[in-house]
Amino acid sequence: MEIGVLYSGEFGKRFVSNLAYPDSCPHFGACGIDECDHCKTYSFSDMIALVREFDEPAAYGIYIENPDEIVGKVECDILVAINLHPDIIAELPGIADVQSIIVPVEHPAWLSVGLREQVRRRCDEAGIEFHAPKPFCSSDTPLANLGFGKPEFRVKMDGNTIESVEIVKSDPCGNAYYVARRMQGCEISDLREFWKEIHQHQCAYPCLASMERDAEIKEAPFHLAGYVMVYQFSMACGIDAESFVPEYMKKFVLR
């Protein structure tokens, strides 16, 4: 499996670093340099076919006449396109020689609903699998085969105390590893406090999903990421957290 990444901005840097240089996470404000115990034992650098960083979308103006000249040749199995100009995203199905295109939506401005459906139609016509998770950790994509997607944990309990946590699948930014480490040793006595603690650790990593409200999910992507993390970790502890999730968010969190 070969992975290509086209990106602009901090989230793209975080994703690439987590994929290829997992020991770099202390530099993002997680455990810190002195506390790092190198809990991420993977590296997929040998699977990365290309990584290209672009300017922020606004730097290109409203329109780009020849997106293919900016993007260049793209050949890989899975292409991840993060925070790119809409004209570049729209042309990816025709530019890229790929099997799958993933366009994560950490911010509502990264991919409008209209553009998403346009790209989906073009991908269908070209025989390309298309995913647009909002945010990246809210659903699985072909990267789930590498252990990245909607976070999953395997938790060993000693009574009401979390004895150990194993990562089955991490969110693409690597936040799950930080949550797992911080929650180890936690004694669960009050559910609300337990849920609050999970979310606080997710924020401290820090989570980079946008705080701007998204009309489609009726919440900010940041909030959806929080509900997903709390629900997934709670279920791994044998605790049903459905009541923690607002009714209108359940179709996104529980799916």
177 vs 151: CA distance, rounded Å: 10
Q: How far is 240 from 79, CA to CA, in rounded Å? A: 35
DSSP character for 20? H
- Round to whole Å and give the CA distance between 225 and 54: 26
What pLDDT sits at residue 123? 97
pLDDT given for residue 179 in this prediction: 95
Domain co-membership, 166 together with 62: no
Beta bridge partners of 179: none
Total tally of structural domains belonging to the chain:
2
Rounded to 5°, the CA angle 18-152-10 comes to 30
Domain extent, residue 92, equals 3-145
Of 30-34, 113-117, 154-158, 241-245, give the lowest mean pLDDT range: 30-34
Mean pLDDT of 242-254: 93
Angle between helices 191-204 and 221-236 (to 10 degrees): 120
- Phi, psi at residue 189, to the nearest 5°? -120, -30
Q: Return the pLDDT at 33.
A: 62
CB 110 within 8 A of CB 135: no
pLDDT tops 70 at residue 136: yes
| Residues 125, 188 within the same domain | no
Sort strands 96-97 and 48-53 into parallel, antiparallel or unpaired: unpaired
Mean pLDDT of 107-120: 96
How far, in whole angstroms, is CA 48 from its chain's centroid?
17
| Range name among 11-25, 88-102, 191-205, 221-235 with the lowest pLDDT average | 11-25
Residue 133 shares a structural domain with residue 109: yes
pTM of the model: 0.94
The β-bridge partners of 75 are: 97
Does 163 share its domain with 238?
yes
Structural domain ending residue among the three candidates 88, 114, 145: 145
Q: Distance (Å, rounded) from C-alpha 121 to C-alpha 173?
A: 28
Mean pLDDT of 171-184: 93
Q: What percent of the chain has pLDDT over 70?
A: 99
Structural tokens at position 66: 């020849």
Both 129 and 188 in a single domain? no
Neighbours of 243 (CB within 10 A): 8
As a whole number, mean pLDDT of residues 205-216 equals 93
Same domain, 120 and 153: no
**pLDDT range class, residue 21, cuts 50, 70, 90:** confident
Let me know whether 223 and 195 are in one domain. yes
Q: Distance between CA 217 and CA 215 in Å, rounded?
A: 6
Per DSSP, what are the bridge partners of residue 74?
A: 96
d(CA 86, CA 250): 29
In terms of Cβ atoms closer than 10 Å to its own Cβ (0-12, 13-18, 19+), residue 119 is buried
Domain match, 51 and 132 both = yes
Do 134 and 158 share a domain, yes or no? no
Query: Which pLDDT score is estimated for 252?
Result: 94
Instruction: Give the count of beta carbons closer than 10 Å to the beta carbon of residue 150.
Output: 23
